[in-house]
Amino acid sequence: MLPVIVFTPGEPAGIGPDLAIMISQQAWPAAIVVCADKNLLQARAEQLELPITIQEYKGHRPTTPSPAGTILVEHIPTAVAAVAGQLNVANGQYVVETLTRASQGNLSGEFDAVVTGPVHKGIINDAGIAFSGHTEFFANQANRNDVVMMLATEGLRVALVTTHIPLAYVTKAITPERLTQIITILHHDLVNKFAEVNPKILVCGLNPHAGENGHLGREEIEVIEPVLEQLREQGINLIGPLPADTLFQPKYLDDAAAVVAMYHDQGLPVLKYKGFGNAVNITLGLPFIRTSVDHGTALDMAGSGDINSGSCLLAINTAIDMVRASHNE
Ligand SMILES: NC(=O)C1=CN([C@@H]2O[C@H](COP(=O)(O)OP(=O)(O)OC[C@H]3O[C@@H](n4cnc5c(N)ncnc54)[C@H](O)[C@@H]3O)[C@@H](O)[C@H]2O)C=CC1
Ligand SMILES: NCC(=O)COP(=O)(O)O
């Protein structure tokens, strides 16, 4: 089957439109539909001096793969013309419209996967729209309470228990129910989507030194250890809670399938240090496939022609592989 992927470039002033143009310079073993303003893409292509032919997507599922030099666009107009590098609050609603169109198309089966470029969470909120991230947005669209943000690069996968919330709320958000859900979804998908056999999952503690036997915090004793014990009884291969500052070394990582980090900045700096530009963000637990770039809007680089498209290429290739795997190909 021909995978049909929808790509959302995200923030129009960021590097997402550049990525849409760059990925369209090559032929793909899939059809890629870009949900964006066609005039924005044309203008950014001219700025980058990259050749592009824009075709409008008319809602008919493509039957041929995307050729080099052509971009198939579901035209969603920006409110005002976007200028590379300059956020404009007037376009916050536009970004959300592209994401809504993409998720509806995935929920209906029109598309097989969504790959997202970077959004600027702040400007969407400044536009009066509550928005904390794609992960939470798609979970909401799909009526899923718990989904898992997992970033992966060569040799390391990191899944998060909490995602885009203030650090001050993290402790309360790590409930036995949430931790159980996150690990259960992660284990299920490692086995069923990533062909891992009896995957070993390393779990970080929350506190320094994983609480130092309760002297530096009691969440490990009161929440994390009981959950891990219960899930081990169900056959999940769990190690931890381990101190996060000493877990990320080959001794532990070499035979591990994934690491569970308790919060965003516990796990992602390590992942990005290892693989920034060559990592993919995958949302597990959604009723559709969603991958994303590992970086943000890079406003300072938009329109420069000097960006790294490695993570975007990996995100698309990962989505294609996941679509094929879901069809047992
Ligand atoms: N997937 C998404 O939608 C993500 C969105 N963000 C959003 O991006 C915005 C900016 O976040 P920052 O922390 O500044 O991170 P950032 O990733 O946009 O930029 C950090 C640094 O890396 C550089 N950089 C990033 N991607 C690059 C690329 N592909 N090629 C060359 N250089 C690149 C930037 O120029 C900058 O110097 C925030 O509003 C944040 O919410 C951040 C991460 C992921
Ligand atoms: N640091 C990862 C990130 O912020 C991406 O989040 P999301 O928008 O994919 O939920």
Q: Which of 149, 162, 318 to mutate to test the pocket of ligand 2 (most atoms within 8 A of CB)?
A: 149
Count of the separate structural domains present in the chain? 2
Same domain, 99 and 177: no
User: Got the DSSP string for 292-308?
Assistant: E-SS---GGGTTSS---
306, amino acid identity: D
Domain presence at residue 278: no
Tens digit of each residue's pLDDT (9 = 90 or more) over 99-131: 999 999 999 999 999 999 999 999 999 999 999
Domain presence at residue 277: no
pLDDT of residue 210: 98
Residue 248 has pLDDT above 90, yes or no: yes
Indicate if ligand 2 lies below 6 Å from the C-beta of 134. yes
Please compute the mean of the pLDDT values over residues 76-91 and round it to a whole number.
Answer: 98
CA 33 to CA 174: how far, in whole Å?
Answer: 38
Same domain, 50 and 139: yes
Please compute the mean of the pLDDT values over residues 147-154 and round it to a whole number.
Answer: 98
Residue 328 has pLDDT above 90, yes or no: no
Which residue's alpha carbon is nearest to atom 6 within ligand 2? Answer: 133
Q: Find the domain containing 161 and state its range.
A: 148-272
Domain presence at residue 279: no
Which residue's alpha carbon is nearest to atom 33 within ligand 1? Answer: 298
CA 223 to CA 231: how far, in whole Å?
Answer: 13
Residue 329 has pLDDT above 80, yes or no: no
pLDDT of residue 301: 98
Give the binding-site residues of ligand 1, using a 6 Å CB cut-off.
10, 15, 118-122, 134, 292-293, 295-298, 300-301, 307-308
Q: Which of 292, 295, 311 to mutate to test the pocket of ligand 2 (most atoms within 8 A of CB)?
A: 292
Domain presence at residue 238: yes
Same domain, 293 and 236: no
Same domain, 87 and 135: yes
pLDDT of residue 321: 97
pLDDT of residue 64: 97
Give the number of whichever ligand sits closest to the CA of residue 137.
2
**Which of 162-183 are b and which e, b meaning 16 or more Cβ less than 10 Å from the residue's Cβ?**
bbeeeeeebeeebeeebbbbbb
- Domain end, chosen from 249, 272, 295, is at 272
